């Protein structure tokens, strides 16, 4: 039987070949007069007024006085916004791990300025966006062309009234237009990128236009470019034949919703708007589980998808259309989960892929810091029950001052069974345990080999961490390293991947087994979860990995038991990925980690019959394009199955390492492990 992965790979190639052939069919080029006629037939020589007829979207565009309160309420943030805006005006950008780069007097919108590769001027269907033989990354020109910095410049303009900022906004749009003729560059190869670009252009324009009068010539140019964007998105929707769509399709719909509202009085615009509303309702139920998590096996992408749906709701509020109760109720759950998986450092756990993607990012926030979105959610839903009140400059710019009082609800332990993530919580420890299947209907586009892996936070500080993603298409080797079993806090057997990868398919994992949660118990005193996966059943002896976590909430003791079921001898490696912390190796079974300088630390113990901890380094990626050293602890060797290994993690506050070890051993006896 031919592997499903191979069939999909062939299908992708055939689909791309067919699209490439279409590029050789000559199509007439349309000038601005032609575009005007498409937008408003019979009025090609008249001024286009759609931009100024559209209802205002953001609070900063609606309320001319809001900018005065921003500086007093968020002085550090508004100062940073002005600094970032000045950089953008001077063509200085720090994108996707590039470091701060000056792009010259004229921005080259089609170059990967990290590698130096420039994509040529030719039909978008003939562009080779990924070449695994070089170190280029198409995300670099795409990220620059999203123009997230336009909203930064617009907000800075309302704070300073510096007309240079408005003129630079105009100049960069004209520059982008001249270098990117319709469908003729790499920046026309992805509808998602077009959608995010258009949303940023539109919102930035509205903020500028509140205080600055643009010439009609420029407004006509901007209107035409936005209409081109809508037409391109509608004709190049990233919708799969299988029905399992992703954040790309949601981004397409977001773009059509905003552009449909802009061109509502045209035949095209009204169709875009109606289509997007209908599809967003469907995709909310298809892509978001009943328990409120996006189905792409990634918490950072859950944040992006939540942002897309929240911006759709924001537009509906401002423009007078509504989404269904089921849409709103599920969006509330998405926001609650986003708060749940936000750590003490303000960043969502880097579980699954993370490419730093946001729709709107204008205040210098870390890409995995979604507290601005949580604040926006509390303003969209005034009785939204989150763990605390969130206040950010971004939410004030978008939605203004909240008129309601948010309900605060302390977070408790939970098992999200459909999505396959459990969270165990005590006063100082938060453990996230991952039991999720290959996402997106089995495609595994953003899934990592992290079955039965966990992350752990102590007093708000990351302890056990997910490695992140580093890069996508720039380097296949690094891409696969960061999503490998070996890079996660789980068990590696015979140095084989849990779900096998396919050469050349960087956004696919085979479904080699099924994870399942067999036990979940939570009380005021303790949490217990047991789960397993059979991905290694394909090995001789039919290996199954079962892991149990037990959290004693009074003593703050976390026990981890790994049972490897099956037969024959196998190489077993129990791996634990830690942040780059100060450590003390006490002996072969005890290691102390110090998350904070003045704290006693946290003890990691190997309680197996033959304890032997090996400490080395591994790489972690705090953001896209960036990698740094972390610490890895390994306990393993060759064992005859079945075999069991047990570990403990205990804060040392008020007790010695020996006392903590005795506590762990006593609890194991009590549990009869």
What is the Cα–Cα distance from 393 to 72, expressed in whole angstroms? 11
Report which of 392, 401, 312, 298 is spatially closest to residue 359, judged by C-alpha positions.
312
SS3 382: coil
On whether the CB atoms of residues 221 and 31 are closer than 8 A, the answer is: no
What is the residue whose two structure tokens read 């539109």? Answer: 202
pLDDT at 247: 97
Confidence of residue 405 (pLDDT cuts 50, 70, 90): low
> Region 479-504: what's the mean pLDDT?
96
Q: In this model, does residue 13 exceed pLDDT 60?
A: no
pLDDT digits (tens, 9 = 90+) for 287-296: 999 999 999 9
Q: In this model, does residue 1 exceed pLDDT 70?
A: no
The average confidence (pLDDT) of the chain is: 93
pLDDT digits (tens, 9 = 90+) for 158-212: 999 999 999 999 999 999 999 999 999 999 999 999 999 999 999 999 999 999 9
pLDDT digits (tens, 9 = 90+) for 492-519: 999 999 999 999 899 999 999 999 999 9
Which residues, listed in sequence order, are joined to residue 577 by a DSSP beta bridge?
632
- Kindly list the strands in the beta sheet with 602-606, ordered across the sheet, starting from the edge strand earlier in the chain: 515-522, 526-533, 544-552, 557-565, 643-651, 602-606, 590-594, 582-585
Q: In this model, does residue 3 exceed pLDDT 80?
A: no
Q: In this model, does residue 442 exceed pLDDT 80?
A: no
Tokens of 401: 């001052």
pLDDT at 599: 76
Q: In this model, does residue 403 exceed pLDDT 60?
A: no
> Region 254-274: what's the mean pLDDT?
97
- State yes or no: cis peptide before 642, omega within 30 of 0: yes
Lowest mean pLDDT among 24-33, 236-245, 330-339, 662-671: 24-33
pLDDT digits (tens, 9 = 90+) for 277-288: 999 999 999 999
Which alpha helices (H) appear in 341-392, and where do they start and end? 371-380
pLDDT digits (tens, 9 = 90+) for 199-225: 999 999 999 999 999 999 999 999 999
Confidence of residue 5 (pLDDT cuts 50, 70, 90): very low
On whether the CB atoms of residues 620 and 468 are closer than 8 A, the answer is: yes
> Region 641-654: what's the mean pLDDT?
95
> Region 92-102: what's the mean pLDDT?
97
What percent of the chain has pLDDT above 90?
Answer: 86
Q: What is the dihedral of CA 202, 205, 206, 212, to 10 degrees?
A: -170
pTM: 0.95
Residues with Cβ within 8 Å of residue 217, at least 6 apart in sequence: none
pLDDT at 48: 92
pLDDT at 17: 58
Q: What is the dihedral of CA 270, 274, 275, 279, to 10 degrees?
A: 160
Confidence of residue 242 (pLDDT cuts 50, 70, 90): confident
What is the residue whose two structure tokens read 């394909």? Answer: 538
- The string of DSSP codes covering 2-65 is --HHHHHHHHHHHHHHHHHHHTTS------HHHHHHHHSTT-TTSPP-HHHHSPP-SHHHH-TT
Strands 385-386 and 407-408: parallel
pLDDT digits (tens, 9 = 90+) for 517-552: 999 999 999 999 999 999 999 999 999 999 999 999
């Amino acid at each position: 039987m031919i592997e499903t992965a191979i069939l999909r790979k062939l299908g992708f190639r055939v689909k791309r070949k067919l699209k490439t052939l279409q590029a050789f069919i000559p199509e007439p080029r349309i000038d601005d007069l032609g575009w005007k006629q498409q937008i408003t037939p019979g009025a090609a020589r008249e001024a286009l007024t759609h931009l100024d007829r559209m209802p205002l979207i953001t609070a900063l565009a609606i309320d001319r006085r809001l900018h005065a309160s921003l500086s007093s309420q968020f002085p550090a943030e508004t100062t940073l916004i002005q600094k970032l805006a000045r950089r953008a005006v001077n063509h200085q950008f720090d994108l996707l791990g590039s470091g701060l780069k000056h792009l010259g007097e004229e921005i080259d919108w089609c170059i990967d300025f990290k590698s130096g590769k420039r994509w040529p001027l030719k039909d978008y269907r003939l562009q080779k966006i990924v070449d695994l033989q070089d170190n280029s990354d198409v995300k670099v020109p795409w990220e620059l062309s999203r123009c997230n910095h336009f909203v930064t410049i617009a907000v800075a303009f309302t704070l300073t009234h510096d007309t240079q900022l408005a003129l630079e906004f105009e100049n960069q749009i004209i520059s982008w237009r001249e270098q990117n003729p319709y469908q003729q560059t790499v920046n026309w190869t992805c509808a998602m990128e077009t959608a995010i670009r258009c949303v940023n252009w539109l919102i930035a324009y509205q903020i500028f236009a509140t205080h600055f009068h643009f010439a009609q010539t420029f407004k006509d140019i901007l209107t035409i470019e936005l209409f081109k964007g809508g037409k391109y998105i509608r004709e190049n929707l990233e919708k799969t034949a299988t029905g399992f769509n992703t954040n790309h399709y949601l981004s397409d719909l977001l773009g059509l919703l905003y552009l449909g509202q802009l061109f509502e009085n045209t035949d095209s615009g009204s169709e875009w708007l109606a289509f997007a509303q209908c599809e967003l309702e469907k995709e909310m139920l298809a892509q978001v589980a009943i328990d409120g998590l996006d189905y792409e096996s990634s918490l950072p992408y859950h944040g992006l998808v939540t942002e897309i749906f929240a911006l759709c709701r924001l537009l509906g509020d401002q423009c007078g259309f509504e989404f269904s109760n089921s849409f709103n109720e599920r969006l509330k759950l998405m926001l609650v989960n986003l708060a749940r998986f936000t750590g003490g450092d303000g960043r969502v756990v880097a579980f699954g892929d993370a490419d730093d993607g946001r729709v709107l990012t204008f205040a210098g926030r870390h890409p995995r810091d979604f507290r601005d979105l949580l604040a926006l959610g509390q303003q969209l839903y005034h009785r939204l029950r989150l763990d605390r009140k969130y206040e950010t400059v971004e939410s004030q710019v978008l939605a203004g001052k909240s008129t309601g009082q948010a309900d605060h609800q302390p977070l408790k332990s939970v098992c999200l069974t459909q999505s396959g993530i459990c969270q165990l919580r005590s006063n100082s420890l938060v453990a996230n345990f991952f039991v999720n299947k290959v996402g997106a209907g089995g495609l595994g586009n953003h899934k990592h080999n992290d079955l039965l892996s966990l992350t752990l936070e102590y007093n708000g500080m990351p302890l056990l961490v997910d490695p992140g993603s580093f890069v996508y298409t720039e380097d296949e080797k690094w891409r696969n390293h960061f999503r490998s079993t070996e890079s996660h806090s789980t068990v590696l057997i015979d140095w084989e991947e849990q779900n096998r990868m396919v050469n050349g398919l960087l956004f696919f994992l085979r479904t080699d087994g099924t994870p399942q949660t067999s036990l979940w118990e939570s009380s005021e005193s303790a949490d217990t979860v047991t789960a397993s996966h059979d991905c290694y059943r394909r090995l001789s002896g039919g290996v199954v990995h079962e892991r149990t976590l037990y959290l004693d909430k009074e003593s703050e003791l976390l026990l981890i038991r790994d049972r490897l079921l099956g037969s024959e001898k196998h190489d077993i490696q129990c791996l634990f990925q830690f942040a780059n912390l100060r450590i003390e190796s006490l002996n072969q079974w005890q290691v102390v980690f110090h998350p904070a300088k003045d704290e006693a630390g946290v003890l990691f113990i190997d309680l197996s019959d033959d304890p032997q901890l090996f400490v080395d380094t591994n790489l972690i990626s705090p953001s896209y394009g960036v990698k740094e050293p972390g610490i890895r602890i390994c306990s393993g060797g060759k064992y005859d199955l079945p075999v069991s290994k047990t570990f403990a993690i205990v804060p040392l506050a008020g007790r010695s390492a020996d006392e903590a070890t005795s506590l762990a051993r006593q609890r194991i006896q009590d549990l009869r492990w």
